Amino acid sequence: MRNLRGERLGRYEIQDELGRGGMARVYRAEDTLLRRPVAIKVLAAQLSMDSEFVRRFEREARTAAALRHPNIITIYDVGEAEGFYYIAMELINGRSLHSILTEQSALGLGYAISLLDPIAQALDFAHAQGAVHRDVKPHNIMLDRQGRVVLADFGIAQTPDADSERLTRTGVFMGTPEYISPEQAEARRVDGQSDLYSLGVVAYEIITGRVPFSGATPQLIVSHAQLPPPPPTSVVAHLPSELDLVLARALAKRPQGRYPNGTAMVAALREVAQRYQTPIATREQLAALIDPLVATDQTIPQAVGPAPRPAPRPADPAPAPHPAPRLADPAPDPRSPEPRPVPVPRPLPEHPSGQSMNTMPVLAIGGVLVVLTLLILFFVAQRFAGGSPPALPTATSNLPSPTIAIPLGSPTVTPTPSPTAVPTATPSPTLTPEPPPPTLPPPPPVFFTAVPPTAVPPTDTPVPPTDTPVPPTDTPVPPTDTPVPPTDTPVPPTDTPVPPTDTPVPPTDTPVSPTDVPVPPTDVPPTDVPPPVPPTEVPTPTV
């Protein structure tokens, strides 16, 4: 038979050849009347010369054209032109199941159910109309790009009124040996059960990747007629044993032993899939089989048994949200604010800034020091001017001197950053410290630290006056100027050294002798002297 590409059959212009077989060739054509693409199946020349065959061909084609089902290919026209008999039918923009299985081999149970379910419905519909396909095989199962599955090629379908004579007088075997039923192999009358047997062979191939029997045509005929098919688990070991039972019934030699219809056979396969939680292929996944590149990314697991095939490779995940920047984005810098020289234990909601909280204790203590310095200067000036100095006990009891001391050489007083210094430095209500003048800021090198409450026992608080070293300042004062008996009531020396400020007291202008300022022990009433303060509350200035 010559290639008809570029020729015209009736109203159809032949464009390309889509496929060929022993009985016919299929072309893509254009319907010049309706302006639509069609597929034309042209009967082989040797068959066109047999009038009986042509008669049956036309009658069976008309029977197929009467089948209106979404999963049966639509027959548009049957005719003859220039000695060629043809069938014009719907053109499927897709591929045949045969070409897909040739590329991908086994597809698995999930795909088998999705592919066989629409074909089973189409066969059940055709059988209800009295038509038998007689050539169910992957070559006649088409998939389009929308995932639609269509049963094609009802050209050799058997009509309800056809007799038992097989169309073999011209030496043409009706059917495909790998998929024929035992009835066809034995030249018996066929019905819908013959199509269901062929559908079972297709299911076997989709799941295992091979047909039950292979070999030459005579061997295939004998095998389908007499031999039981090998169990699917003998081909693919990890398949569940339930599939052996389902396919054994679908391929039973006697029609009475098979499933009553195609829907029942697919339901049995679906039950096995549900038992082993095998996913069923979606319509999108079926459509992806048309493109081999896309099909690679959209396959589903084939096996459902103890050792299933790997799950379909998922799509590339979205890029991770860059962990490096997340690691590089630090929390607020722990070094800001800087460590406080004198922490403030009391909450100060009116000063949310850490820097303001740090400066307030320093300013308060600086103000106390300035007031103390002014009182000492005033006391000395009054003494040398002949005035009456204020009572020392009263001034001593009102000053926060017990909480401010010069660094001692005692090893038990250890500066630590514990925040417990300022709360005890609260002046008496009778003496309100004035804010420091703008010209007398607190000395920068003076910092105060606090001692934890449990660091030093309270017995270490009193320090003898003779053990108090005089810091190297501009006003050296002999330690004998403030004799204080070693009692539990520490009395601050009247000649308290003035911190390095803008008003240093020269040593020559204010000579102090032990006889000028007698401080008898009896002048300090015990009731006026504050109890000894634990060293935990004594801030120590360090120069």
Within a domain: 414 = no
Would you state the pLDDT for residue 19? 84
> What gap in Å lies between CA 521 and CA 505, rounded to an integer?
27
Average the pLDDT over 336-348 and give the result. Answer: 41
Surface-to-core class of residue 471, CB atoms within 10 Å of its CB (0-12 exposed, 13-18 middle, 19+ buried): middle
80 or 197, greater pLDDT: 197
Q: What is the largest CA-CA distance in the chain?
A: 157
> What gap in Å lies between CA 457 and CA 421, rounded to an integer?
17
One domain, residues 184 and 84: no
Average the pLDDT over 281-286 and give the result. Answer: 95
Q: Tell me which of 91, 124, 146 is where a domain ends.
A: 91
User: Is the per-residue pLDDT at 144 higher than 80?
Assistant: yes
Phi-psi region of 490 (alpha: psi -120 to 50; beta: other; left: phi over 0): beta
One domain, residues 306 and 443: no
> 112: which DSSP letter?
H
Average the pLDDT over 74-82 and give the result. Answer: 90
Buried b (16+ CB within 10 A) or exposed e, 146-183: ebbbbbbbbbbbbbeebeeebbeeeebeebbbbbbbbb
Surface-to-core class of residue 39, CB atoms within 10 Å of its CB (0-12 exposed, 13-18 middle, 19+ buried): buried
41 annotated as a binding-site residue: yes
Within a domain: 488 = no
3-state secondary structure of 78: strand
One domain, residues 204 and 87: no
> What gap in Å lies between CA 467 and CA 469, rounded to an integer?
6
Position 383 confidence tier, pLDDT thresholds 50, 70, 90:
low
Of residues 54, 135, 123, the one with CA closest to residue 87:
54
Neighbouring C-beta atoms of residue 45, cutoff 10 Å: 12
Which positions ≥6 away from 198 have C-beta within 8 Å?
Answer: 133, 135, 136, 137, 179, 180, 181
Within a domain: 409 = no
Minimum mean pLDDT range among 27-31, 252-256, 298-302, 358-362: 298-302
Which range, 65-79, 362-376, 434-448, has the best average confidence (pLDDT)? 65-79
108 or 399, greater pLDDT: 108
Residues facing 141 on adjacent strands? 151
Of residues 480, 438, 471, 460, the one with CA closest to residue 543:
471
Would you state the pLDDT for residue 382? 65
Position 340 confidence tier, pLDDT thresholds 50, 70, 90:
very low
Average the pLDDT over 237-243 and give the result. Answer: 94
The DSSP element (H or E) to which 127 belongs, if any, is: helix 109-128
Within a domain: 484 = no
User: Is the per-residue pLDDT at 274 higher than 70?
Assistant: yes
The reply to whether 495 belongs to the active site is: no
> What gap in Å lies between CA 225 and CA 272, rounded to an integer?
28
Task: Decide the pairing of beta strands 149-151 and 447-449.
Answer: unpaired
> What gap in Å lies between CA 165 and CA 47, rounded to an integer?
17
3-state secondary structure of 5: coil
Position 54 confidence tier, pLDDT thresholds 50, 70, 90:
confident
Q: What is the 3-state secondary structure (H, E, C) of 242-272?
A: HHHHHHHHHCCCCHHHCCCCHHHHHHHHHHH
Domain extent for 20: 1-91
135 or 519, greater pLDDT: 135
User: Is the per-residue pLDDT at 59 higher than 70?
Assistant: yes
Domain of residue 63, CATH code? 3.30.200.20
Gyration radius (Cα) of the chain, Å: 55
Tokens of 425: 């430095």
Domain of residue 291, CATH code? 1.10.510.10
One domain, residues 267 and 222: yes
User: Is the per-residue pLDDT at 405 higher than 50?
Assistant: no
Buried b (16+ CB within 10 A) or exposed e, 322-341: eeeeeeeeeeeeeeeeeebb
One domain, residues 153 and 232: yes
DSSP assignment of 29-69, as one string?
A: EEETTTTEEEEEEEE-HHHHT-HHHHHHHHHHHHHHHT---
Q: Tell me which of 91, 109, 134 is where a domain ends.
A: 91
User: Is the per-residue pLDDT at 500 higher than 50?
Assistant: no
Would you state the pLDDT for residue 368? 72
Give the strands of the sheet with 94-96, arranged side by side.
94-96, 141-144, 149-151
Would you state the pLDDT for residue 58? 82
- For the chain, the average pLDDT equals 70
Within a domain: 521 = no
Would you state the pLDDT for residue 511? 44
Which range, 149-163, 215-229, 325-339, 436-450, has the best average confidence (pLDDT)? 215-229
One domain, residues 233 and 369: no
Minimum mean pLDDT range among 23-37, 366-380, 456-470: 456-470
One domain, residues 120 and 261: yes
User: Is the per-residue pLDDT at 501 higher than 50?
Assistant: no
Angle at 299 between CA 230 and CA 110, to 5 degrees: 50
One domain, residues 116 and 240: yes
> What gap in Å lies between CA 8 and CA 16, rounded to an integer?
12
Would you state the pLDDT for residue 97? 96
Which positions ≥6 away from 443 have C-beta within 8 Å?
Answer: 366, 499, 500, 501
Within a domain: 489 = no
User: Is the per-residue pLDDT at 460 higher than 50?
Assistant: no
Which positions ≥6 away from 381 have C-beta within 8 Å?
Answer: none
Tokens of 521: 């022990």
User: Is the per-residue pLDDT at 30 higher than 80?
Assistant: yes
> What gap in Å lies between CA 40 and CA 17, rounded to an integer?
9
> What gap in Å lies between CA 418 and CA 429, rounded to an integer?
27
User: Is the per-residue pLDDT at 137 higher than 90?
Assistant: yes
Give the ranges where 407-534 is alpha helix by DSSP (H): none
Domain count, the chain: 3
One domain, residues 311 and 367: no
Position 1 confidence tier, pLDDT thresholds 50, 70, 90:
low
Give the ranges where 209-322 is alpha helix by DSSP (H): 217-226, 232-235, 241-250, 262-275, 283-288, 292-297
pTM over 0.75: no
Q: Contact, 121 vs 263, CB < 8 A?
A: yes
One domain, residues 198 and 276: yes
Q: Tell me which of 316, 331, 346 is where a domain ends.
A: 316
Within a domain: 311 = yes
Would you state the pLDDT for residue 219? 94
- The single-letter code of the amino acid at 4 is L
Minimum mean pLDDT range among 105-109, 195-199, 276-280, 299-303: 299-303
Please tell me which residue in 135, 153, 195, 495 is annotated as part of the active site. Answer: 135
- The single-letter code of the amino acid at 202 is V
One domain, residues 232 and 83: no
One domain, residues 126 and 233: yes
Tokens of 89: 């039918």
Within a domain: 179 = yes
Minimum mean pLDDT range among 83-97, 194-208, 410-424, 527-541: 410-424
Minimum mean pLDDT range among 50-64, 167-181, 191-205, 379-393: 379-393
Give the ranges where 299-411 is alpha helix by DSSP (H): 323-328, 354-384, 392-398
> What gap in Å lies between CA 458 and CA 244, rounded to an integer?
93
